[in-house]
Structure 1
Amino acid sequence: MQTRDPWGRARAASRGGKQMKRRSRTYRVALGVVALGVALAVILAPGWSLAGPAAPKLLNAVKWDYPPKFNNVTVTVVGDAGHNLKPYEFWKDHFAKAGITVKIVEIPFEGVYEKEKTEFVAGTGAFDVVTFYPAFIGDFASNGYLEPLDTLMNKQPASVWNPNQADVLPPFRELYNKWGGKTYALTIDGDVLIMIYRKDLFEDAGEKAAFRAKYNKDLRPPETWDDWLQVGAFFTRKKGQKLAGKVLERDFYGSAEFAKRGFSFAWFVDRWAATGELYFDQNMVPRVNSPAAVNALQNFVDSLKNAPPDVRGYGYDELRDALIKGNVAMVVQWTDVPKKGADPSESQVVGKLGVGRVPGLSIGGRVNHRAMMPVGRVVAVAASSKNKDAAYWVAKHVAYDTSLENVSTFLTGLDSYRASHLAHPEAYTMFKNAAEARVYLDGLKVALADGYPEIFIPGAAQYEDALDLHVNKALAGQETPKQALDAVAQEWNAITQRLGQQKQVELWRQALKSYQALGLVK
């Protein structure tokens, strides 16, 4: 069955199939996090079919050509399970035409690092194309697990082999793709956080009058993290109270964030990074327990008062649903969520969402905004692959040739990472019209300009997991913010010692130069 979307195009009425969780990530490095021998393999051979949504319409924004036909080779792709692997389903006919059968191995989101690392260390050669979170590139590339791509990228003809890296936005090209001056990966998902709010509530005359009467200032989306607390408290209401002139049938909450064990640390760093401090100083001495960092974590803890009572169980899915099911006034989330909010098949707030900068910190009369760039996805060719050319073409086809289709559909959770993605509002047909899509893309541009990187050196998984553990303990009331961050500093020092102090100092200084060159830090 098909219906017409707001722009007159036909689309399936049912998306079919339950989407797997996208983000509920924990970089747990202890053994036993995931049963490494268990994975779901799906063969995308010619004629293969699976109940589920159809591929997005081919937009032909990129001129590309098929490679010389391969001799029916199999390329095994590994990645986190769920809707972000769907491009390999969307374009299965393209792979078949190129003489390639794609085999997908899905593993749990939280098991990506350990599964791939284990296979690399064991030298099994199990995978040809590996999907991973770019914070791991230092670990994987420096240990020789990945094939350098520069020679493959420069093969002729360019329409077959060139991934047009100049089109990739600088942070997603320089940090996500490169290590030691060489390109080892191609971006397929450009993540950054953004504020999403119920613009209908902020524009309601009654709510505006009530806010002015209470606080003697205008109601507007929060500019600072102190504003976040104030506006969140204002919109938090009990069942039976009124919101925008209507009696609430259930409790309503002012704000919500990702507070679940796994990636809650990124929402703390949103606040802390606005101070201008970095993870470490030049000598890898942690700054994470500075007074400014403690204050930032206290703000995160305080924000839970305005959030649903089960918010500490909120990962990507729960946070998305709290917004698009009409339970909260504002969230900080990944930039794909407004696309979900514009889809009437799952959203109760279609046309009611606005986007804005992640709140910041007022310093010297100027508000400094930073938005974490957590997770993201890149694809690389395993150094052990026996079909490197075919594996590279599969990766390049998803990362460039069909990338606009992959990021502009609500069928995936992939976010824009190329300049060309931001230049085609007509591709984002889940929005009412191109003008509405342009507002979304303009908001994304601003968020990217505020972007703040993860720890892009070997050991990133361990450093970030230690931070997340103690941030989550502070959110649970098990540790004070100071106790939590003092513990993080101690554990970070231990990790650095295990990995080699001098080596880590050198790698961190190189990372800082990259951050500074990209304008991500001063």
Structure 2
Amino acid sequence: MKKTRITCSLLFLFVFILPTLLFAQVPPRLDVVKWEFPPSFGKVTINLVGDAGHNLRPYEFWKSDFEQVGLNIVITEVPFEGVYEKEKTEFIADTGAFDVVTFYPSYIGDFAGNGYLEPLDEYMQKAPAAVWDPNANDVLAPFWELYCKFDGKAYALPIDGDVHMLMYRKDLFEHPEEKAAFKEKYGKELAPPETWEDWLQIGAFFTRPKGEKLGGEVLNENFYGSAEFAKRGFSFAWFVNRWAPFGEPYFDENMKPLVNSPNAVKGLQNMVDGLKNNPPDVLGYGYDELRDAFLKGYVAMIVQWTDVPKKGADPTQSAIAGNIGYGRVPGWEVDGKVEHRSMMPVGRVIGVAKSSANKEAAYWVAKHVSYDTSLENVSTSLTGLDPYRTIHFTNPQAYTMFPNEAEALNYLKGVEAAMADGYPEIFIPGAAQYQDSLDLHVNKALTGQETPQQALDTVAKEWDEITEKLGREKQIELWNKALVTYKALGLIK
């Protein structure tokens, strides 16, 4: 009888209590942004699509807000790497399957340029402003001008400001025994890597088999100096971190690819060379695996998106809470000065599908997540969304996963430093095709199927083919407009 009671109690716990606790994980209302509800839209279903996982959680957080104005949000989740294919397929087929589309901003030239998205300017200007205005002036300029606009019009609202930053094990870099051993071996002080040559050297120093000592303790399992996002999908961004400091854009003014330059080959060779300091399964590392390798304490340093330190400060998600240092993504010495660049890959914006039958309601859903609730959405470790508005940087008290406001400010300063080095993706039609070609051959170089030179020569050839297919003259025109924007925003020289 006692066993039956225990079994029933456990069943009650898993069926009733645990789901309640999980769904109860909602950030507190911060009341920094003053906004108002619109009149009820009636009983309307809004179909939304986005990449699966924690970045769709705001639609759970604020479910009662949507219900209050008569909206039922139905979400379609697709794999991280499958967003473009899924949304483009639905757009071309004109199925009208989605009202709200979450996508990576580099696709805006394709989606807006082909008429798949509803222009948003008129909705943004509706009265009252507390209901409809997404406060674009508060958005950091690169995230508004590049992420949300095409040909002078707004077609999306931002919900995620992505940029890479360096993260390292502060406790190991500051450990007296490690500092002494590094100085004895290399004749210089142990410090976070300033250059990509340093990255290789420090990575080799910290790579050790189990049984050896690390930070004064004997290792129970192997430890690695560094790790990469090496999985097919977005590994190209970790390569561009190593190429961009040389100041070469993706194409020249006539759309001649520069991706196989000697500097680009040098950058890719560095990435290949670094694999020897990585975990043996690193070729399967995407966002989750790279994050977990670091936060579980298997790796000394990584370059990752800026949401990882928020999870890293949370002891329920991190074995190294309190021991994470932040720095600039390593660079290269150019003309006597080390130049740093941090890729701004992925990000997320929300657009309204041109085919939606509920455009006004769909727009308000986008505005509510992009502005009204944005501080709550980016300041929690329950999502992977990163700061993209001024208010996200001026409210350190919101980031409660850090032990105090000083630590939160330290994190936000690290994000700001990364943004100062920010380097854009390709933002013209064909971006998905150009980047997929680059990612494929970067991956082939990492797996040893092609040398860095072979890989990037093939990319240059394929980029030319993509440009011809899309119309060279039109691509040249759009690329030169993009270059003007990049330079005006200070993203390239």
TM-score (norm: length of structure 2): 0.95
Letter in 2 for 1:507: L
Question: Could you tell me which residue of structure 2 aligns to residue 5 of structure 1?
Answer: none
Letter in 2 for 1:237: R
Whole-Å Cα distance in 2 between the matches of residues 96 and 475 of structure 1? 48
For 1:181-196, list aligned pairs within 5 A: 181-196=152-167
Question: Could you tell me which residue of structure 2 aligns to residue 337 of structure 1?
Answer: 308
Whole-Å Cα distance in 2 between the matches of residues 203 and 134 of structure 1? 39
Whole-Å Cα distance in 2 between the matches of residues 76 and 483 of structure 1? 44
Whole-Å Cα distance in 2 between the matches of residues 408 and 401 of structure 1? 13
For 1:314-393, list aligned pairs within 5 A: 314-393=285-364
CA contact under 8 A between 1:53 and 1:411: conserved in structure 2? no
Whole-Å Cα distance in 1 between the matches of residues 78 and 345 of structure 2? 19
Question: Could you tell me which residue of structure 2 aligns to residue 87 of structure 1?
Answer: 58
Question: Could you tell me which residue of structure 2 aligns to residue 309 of structure 1?
Answer: 280
Q: Secondary structure at the match of 1:115?
A: helix
Whole-Å Cα distance in 1 between the matches of residues 340 and 108 of structure 2? 26
CA contact under 8 A between 1:16 and 1:53: conserved in structure 2? no
Q: Larger % of helix: which? A: 2
For 1:268-287, list aligned pairs within 5 A: 268-287=239-258
Question: Could you tell me which residue of structure 2 aligns to residue 252 of structure 1?
Answer: 223
Letter in 1 for 2:431: A
CA deviations over 1:293-320 (Å, ceiling 9, x no partner)? 1111000001111111111111101100
Whole-Å Cα distance in 1 between the matches of residues 175 and 263 of structure 2? 36
CA contact under 8 A between 1:193 and 1:371: conserved in structure 2? yes
* Alignment counterpart, residue 416 of structure 1, candidates 375, 383, 387: 387
CA contact under 8 A between 1:125 and 1:385: conserved in structure 2? yes
* Alignment counterpart, residue 514 of structure 1, candidates 474, 485, 489: 485
Q: Is 1:135 aligned to 2:106, yes or no? A: yes
Q: Secondary structure at the match of 2:345?
A: coil
Q: Secondary structure at the match of 1:374?
A: coil
Letter in 1 for 2:151: G
Q: Secondary structure at the match of 1:226?
A: helix
C-alpha displacement of 1:125 = 1.2
Letter in 2 for 1:166: N
C-alpha displacement of 1:54 = 2.2
CA deviations over 1:454-511 (Å, ceiling 9, x no partner)? 0101111110011011111111111111011001001111111111111111111111
Q: Secondary structure at the match of 2:246?
A: coil
CA deviations over 1:242-293 (Å, ceiling 9, x no partner)? 1111111111110111011111110000000011011000000000000111
Whole-Å Cα distance in 2 between the matches of residues 399 and 217 of structure 1? 47
Q: Is 1:240 aligned to 2:219, yes or no? A: no
Q: Secondary structure at the match of 2:25?
A: coil
Question: Could you tell me which residue of structure 1 aligns to residue 76 of structure 2?
Answer: 105
Whole-Å Cα distance in 1 between the matches of residues 313 and 228 of structure 2? 20
Across the aligned residues of Structure 1 and Structure 2, the Cα RMSD in angstroms comes to: 1.3
C-alpha displacement of 1:363 = 1.1
Report the more deviating stretch, 104-113 or 467-476.
104-113
C-alpha displacement of 1:55 = 1.3
Q: Is 1:441 aligned to 2:412, yes or no? A: yes
CA contact under 8 A between 1:256 and 1:331: conserved in structure 2? yes
* Alignment counterpart, residue 203 of structure 1, candidates 174, 182, 188: 174
The runs of at least 4 consecutive aligned structure 1 residues that moved more than 3 Å come to: 49-53
Whole-Å Cα distance in 1 between the matches of residues 41 and 262 of structure 2? 59
Question: Could you tell me which residue of structure 2 aligns to residue 39 of structure 1?
Answer: none
C-alpha displacement of 1:82 = 1.2
* Alignment counterpart, residue 129 of structure 2, candidates 151, 158, 161: 158
CA deviations over 1:134-193 (Å, ceiling 9, x no partner)? 000000001111111001000111100000001100110000000000000000011000
* Alignment counterpart, residue 424 of structure 2, candidates 424, 432, 453: 453
CA contact under 8 A between 1:240 and 1:248: conserved in structure 2? yes
Number of residue pairs matched by the alignment: 477
Letter in 1 for 2:423: Y
* Alignment counterpart, residue 464 of structure 2, candidates 482, 489, 493: 493
Q: Secondary structure at the match of 1:274?
A: helix
C-alpha displacement of 1:50 = 9.7
C-alpha displacement of 1:52 = 3.4
TM-score (norm: length of structure 1): 0.90
Structure-2 change in CA distance of 1:16 and 1:129 (3 Å): farther
C-alpha displacement of 1:53 = 4.6
Q: For structure 2, list consecutive stretches of 5 or more residues without a partner in the other structure.
A: 1-16
Identity, % of aligned positions: 69
Letter in 2 for 1:137: I
Whole-Å Cα distance in 2 between the matches of residues 238 and 52 of structure 1? 41
Whole-Å Cα distance in 2 between the matches of residues 180 and 187 of structure 1? 17
CA contact under 8 A between 1:128 and 1:382: conserved in structure 2? yes
C-alpha displacement of 1:384 = 1.1
Q: For structure 1, list consecutive stretches of 5 or more residues without a partner in the other structure.
A: 1-14, 18-48
* Alignment counterpart, residue 481 of structure 1, candidates 452, 458, 461: 452
Whole-Å Cα distance in 1 between the matches of residues 318 and 82 of structure 2? 30
Whole-Å Cα distance in 2 between the matches of residues 57 and 517 of structure 1? 38
Whole-Å Cα distance in 2 between the matches of residues 402 and 342 of structure 1? 22
Structure-2 change in CA distance of 1:73 and 1:423 (3 Å): same
